[in-house]
Structure 1
Amino acid sequence: MKIAIASDGNKVSAHFGHCEGFSMYEVEKNKVLNNEFVPNPGHRPGFLPMFLKDNKVDLIISGGMGGSAQELFVNNGIDVIVGAEGSCEDVINAYIKGELKSTDAFCEEHNH
């Protein structure tokens, strides 16, 4: 499974579209096999869901995300968890332990 966390530095970004990039984790059998940072190629409507799909991402984790983006991810077979906060390492570990739950909140403000 490939998981992308919208990140600013080593922290989960408040809004995925304006993040510095994506901390990508390969997870298998509840263990991180490897991770890498992929810079955000730019925020354009509808682009990032396809960009992450092309990068074979199965799950996107972010602090906040608009409703249209969440729908695009789901329509492209990518699960969405929003409302995450803290360090990317803590968030990926919480996900692996089954402790990370989505708030399903929609982000409508773009001035993060």
Structure 2
Amino acid sequence: MKIAVPYENGQVFQHFGHSGQFKIYDVEDGRITAERIAVPAGSGHGALAGFLSGLEVDTLICGGIGAGAQEALAQAGIRLYGGVTGGADEAVRALLAGTLDYSAEVRCGRHDHHREHGHCGEDHHGCAGNSGRCGG
């Protein structure tokens, strides 16, 4: 298993489409065997899903993530655990222990598209939706 976490200052970075780096964990027999930081060349959900797929990541733990990013990850065969906050290392250990607190209904909560962009439904680097809030 290979797990990726959008990473900033030891924490789960909260906006997938703007992730500047990921912490990658190699897992064997339920134990972390290696970890490293990987920096993507691009941003936006399509580029990031491709980047993670190229690293052979099969699981992503993240904070906020829009519907377009969720679809791109699903197409890449990457299992998603979204809506996670706190320390990245702690989140991975919790996932391995079966105690990770995540949301199957995760949405990007970075900003209100109606106020900031005039309407929703646009893809803003992984933050897309149609209900007046990101990922709606």
Letter in 2 for 1:102: Y
Q: Percent identity?
A: 32
- Bigger mean CA deviation after superposition, 79-88 or 97-106: 97-106
Structure of higher RCO (CA pairs closer than 8 Å, 6+ residues apart): 1
Give the corresponding residue for 2:118: none
- Residue 109 of structure 1, CA deviation: 3.6
Note the alpha carbon deviations across 1:29-68, whole angstroms, 9 max, x for none. Answer: 1100000001232313511101110110001111111111
Structure (1 or 2) with the larger CA radius of gyration = 2
Structure 1 segments, 4+ long, off by >6 Å, are none
Asked if residue 41 in structure 1 is aligned to residue 41 in structure 2, the reply is yes
Structure 2 gaps of 5+ residues are 113-136
Length, aligned pairs only:
111
Q: Equivalent residue of 1:4, what SS?
A: strand
Structure 1 gaps of 5+ residues are none
Letter in 1 for 2:98: G
- In the alignment, the residues of structure 1 paired with residue 73 and residue 101 of structure 2 have an alpha-carbon distance, to the nearest angstrom, of 17
Q: Equivalent residue of 1:86, what SS?
A: coil
Give the corresponding residue for 1:105: 106
- In the alignment, the residues of structure 1 paired with residue 6 and residue 45 of structure 2 have an alpha-carbon distance, to the nearest angstrom, of 16
Give the corresponding residue for 2:127: none
8 Å Cα contact 1:9-1:20 kept in structure 2:
no
Relative to the length of structure 1, the TM-score reads 0.90
- Residue 101 of structure 1, CA deviation: 4.3
Could you say what the CA RMSD is over the residues aligned between the two structures, in angstroms?
A: 1.6
8 Å Cα contact 2:60-2:81 kept in structure 1:
yes
Cα distance, 1:29–1:99 mapped onto 2, change above 3 Å: same
